[in-house]
Amino acid sequence: MIGTVTAPIRLVFGQGVEIALGTIIVVTFLILAAFAPFIAPYDPDFLNLGASLKPPSAEHWFGTDMLGRDVFSRVVFATRIDLLMGTVGVLLPMILGSTAGLIAGYGWGWVDALIMRLVDVVLAFPWLILMMAIIAVYSPGLVSFFFAVTMVGWVSYARLVRARVRVVKRADYVKSARVLGYGHARILTRHILPNAMVPALVFAASDFVLVLTAGSAVSYLGMGVQPPTAEWGLMIAEGRNFITTAWWIPFFPGMAIVLLAFGFSLIADGLSLKLGVGDA
């Protein structure tokens, strides 16, 4: 069955089916986010207590929640905040971690040792728990989440980039750059960095899945995005009190998370297969 679905796609895209399918899913969500006001039939925050807890119908595709808000419109608008959460939540740790990994891998024994000890300390904590402890230090919210995810997430990038840098810096083209008399900064940014970033970039695609599920989990627990903002994890939390009567409130936001995460996982798998890095 799956073969019949993927075969035509494979014909068009060759071996990159995963990447193609993943990209289609992700681009669909990007379109939803960009054109949310045109796609969503209702205002996501419009209260209509007379029409609360209505099951899915032609009028309300995904039903309405306890305050009579249209669940479909809220799922569409939430795409914006969840994509932002995932993207920033991947970029900040990637920038910090890659810089740390680059410095650690390039040399200077004690800097390397210091950075790697820090990595070990962070790795000793379960990352969702450390993230929650950091958020507890500040106030709940998106900014605290970004700070926490950066403090916790950089270690993966640091390790990946450091490992690559240690290999790349022995390559002939780096040696020749050194012979040519280029400075450390130029060698690091122009010669080593572009080659050392490949595994980190592939990892970023699967990291998006982690950050998206962690971010929505944090919001679900009440420590992330705050009401009345439409965010998938928060919508699931809001629907919890009505699960005996209104399954549609938590169901659709969750499906959105699963689908978007699936898209990014496919891209990650396709990339690691194509570039021969990581564990497919």
Partner 1 sequence: MSFFLIKLIPGDPVRALLGPRASQESIDFYREQLGLNESLITQYVIYLGRLVRGDFGESIVFRGPVSELILDRTGPTLTLVIVTTLIATAISLVLAAIAARRAGDWTDRSIRISATIGLGVPQFWLGVILIIVFSINFDLFPVAGLGDGGWDSLSHLVLPCTTLAIPLIAILVRNLRASYLEGLGSEYAVFARSKGASESAVFWRHVFRNSVVPTLQLLGVNVGWLLGGTVVVENVFAIPGLGELLVNAIFARDYFVIQAVTIVFAISVVFVSLVIDVLTVLIDPRFGQ
Q: What is the smallest separation between the CB atom of 143 and partner 1, expressed in angstroms?
A: 14
Nearer to partner 1, 111 or 133 (CB): 133
Q: What is the smallest separation between the CB atom of 277 and partner 1, expressed in angstroms?
A: 14
Helices (H), the chain: 2-13, 17-34, 36-39, 71-106, 109-124, 127-137, 142-168, 172-179, 184-186, 193-196, 198-220, 232-239, 248-275
Distance set, CA 239 to CA 81, 199, 243 (Å):
19, 39, 6
Nearer to partner 1, 135 or 197 (CB): 135
Nearer to partner 1, 70 or 82 (CB): 82
CB 93 within 8 A of CB 157: yes
Nearer to partner 1, 188 or 234 (CB): 234
* DSSP letters for 93-132: HHHHHHHHHHHHHHS-HHHHHHHHHHHHHHHHS-HHHHHH
CB 42 within 8 A of CB 75: no
Nearer to partner 1, 64 or 216 (CB): 216
Q: What is the smallest separation between the CB atom of 128 and partner 1, expressed in angstroms?
A: 3
Q: What is the smallest separation between the CB atom of 12 and partner 1, expressed in angstroms?
A: 18
Q: What is the smallest separation between the CB atom of 135 and partner 1, expressed in angstroms?
A: 8
User: Which residues are near partner 1 by CB under 8 A?
Assistant: 1-3, 121, 123-130, 132-139, 206, 209, 212-213, 216-217, 220-223, 233, 236-237, 239-240, 243-244, 247, 250-251, 253-254, 257-258, 260-262, 264-266, 269, 279-280
